[in-house]
Amino acid sequence: MTDLYLRDRWFEDLPVGEFHVFGSHTFSELEIVEFAKNFDPRPESTDPEQARLNHRQGLTASPWLLTAMWMRKMVDYMEVYAQGVNDGRRNGAGVAISDLQWLEPVRPGHTLTYTYEIIAKPGQVIREKWGMIRSRNEAFNQYGNKVMQFDIDILAERRPQESGDPQQ
Amino acid sequence: MASPSPNDYMESKSIELDQSAIAAFASQFDPQPYHLDASAADQSIFGGLCASGWHIAALATRLVIETLLANGLPFVEMSSVSWLKWSRPTFVNEQISVRVTLGTSDEESPIANTRCQTLEIEVCNGNGAIVATMTAKAAIAIDAALAEST
């Protein structure tokens, strides 16, 4: 919690090529069903009995549960990755994603491990304060098979210009 | 691509996002202050309490599926999103709906008895402003029995 290296990271401090394995999660049947009921109601995700008869032959997670869990793991990791990001003023925002693919179904009991690599800093500056970070994100299941991938552009706060670093 | 005339797209019903709905998703999946804490959100990049972009993507997909089914297109599965852009936040008590335009694709669907359909999706708020755009590929059943079972 007192690691100055971690707390002082700004847009300028994030190098292309940086790679993180930032979280993993085992999806339960209840979680798959609850997510689908609330956000993406489809028989293959809400009804285990009916799901046995579909083309996947069993319950599978909504593809958006896999991205939602990516977000949760990323938020949890940001606390470690750059202290102070979570105060609401320094939080950036996702702008756009590209090439999002769901490659294999995720079933109850499957464990996904999420990875993140900075692949570009496209150079746009938004409202002076924000720079753009492009990352490639992948999720692998317990067999090591890639089940999801996407690239995302996220805004990261630039180092303040006039008064130098506000931290002592 | 020419901009579509109103007859070219299918339109969904609307979903309203109240504070509890926004918080229910965000507390579980995207617990950042601008989705959960009104005063922190006012100082944030969005300038107010708003829904997670992933919440919007999931709800938009739900609306797309309902719209395809209502128009006689037996949706089976969404397989990829080549592009998704969030243009503006969806604030508390705003509504979202989708407009779906069918694109063309000569790609083969990896799922038996389905075809690959490209979907151009606009997510709009209650004022008709675009909050997100998405280009997706979905498998659509070409076999009645498969359509029944999904």
The answer to whether the CB atoms of B30 and A86 lie below 8 A apart is no
Mind listing the pLDDT tens digit for each residue in A89-124?
A: 778 889 999 999 999 999 999 999 999 999 999 988
Q: Please report how the helices A29-39 and B53-70 are oriented relative to each other, as an axis angle in degrees rounded to 10.
A: 70
| CATH assignment, B10-149 | 3.10.129.10
* pLDDT value, residue B144: 59
The torsion angles phi and psi of A5, rounded to 5 degrees, stand at -60, -45
* pLDDT value, residue B90: 97
What is the ipTM metric for this complex?
0.89
B54 Cβ contact partners less than 8 Å away, ≥ 6 residues apart: A64, A67, A68, A71, B25, B29, B30
Q: How many domains does chain A have?
A: 1
pLDDT tens per residue across all 168 residues of chain A: 444 445 567 899 889 999 999 999 999 999 999 999 888 777 667 787 888 878 888 899 999 999 999 999 999 888 766 655 566 677 888 999 999 999 999 999 999 999 999 999 998 888 888 999 999 999 999 999 999 999 999 999 898 876 555 544
In a domain, A37, yes or no: no
With an 8 Å Cβ cutoff, is A42 touching chain B?
yes
With an 8 Å Cβ cutoff, is A93 touching chain B?
yes
* pLDDT value, residue A2: 46
Any idea what the CATH number is for the domain that residue A89 is in? Answer: 3.10.129.10
In a domain, A126, yes or no: yes
This prediction's pTM: 0.89
In a domain, A58, yes or no: no
Map out the domains of chain B as residue ranges.
Answer: 10-149
Q: Give the residue from A27, A30, A35, A40 with the most B CB atoms within 10 Å of its CB, the best one to mutate.
A: A40
**Which residues form the domain of A107?**
4-28+66-157
With an 8 Å Cβ cutoff, is A101 touching chain B?
yes
In a domain, A11, yes or no: yes
C-alpha B53/C-alpha B34 separation (Å) is 12
Q: Give the residue from B77, B83, B107, B123 with the most A CB atoms within 10 Å of its CB, the best one to mutate.
A: B77
| A142 Cα to chain B: minimum distance (Å) | 21
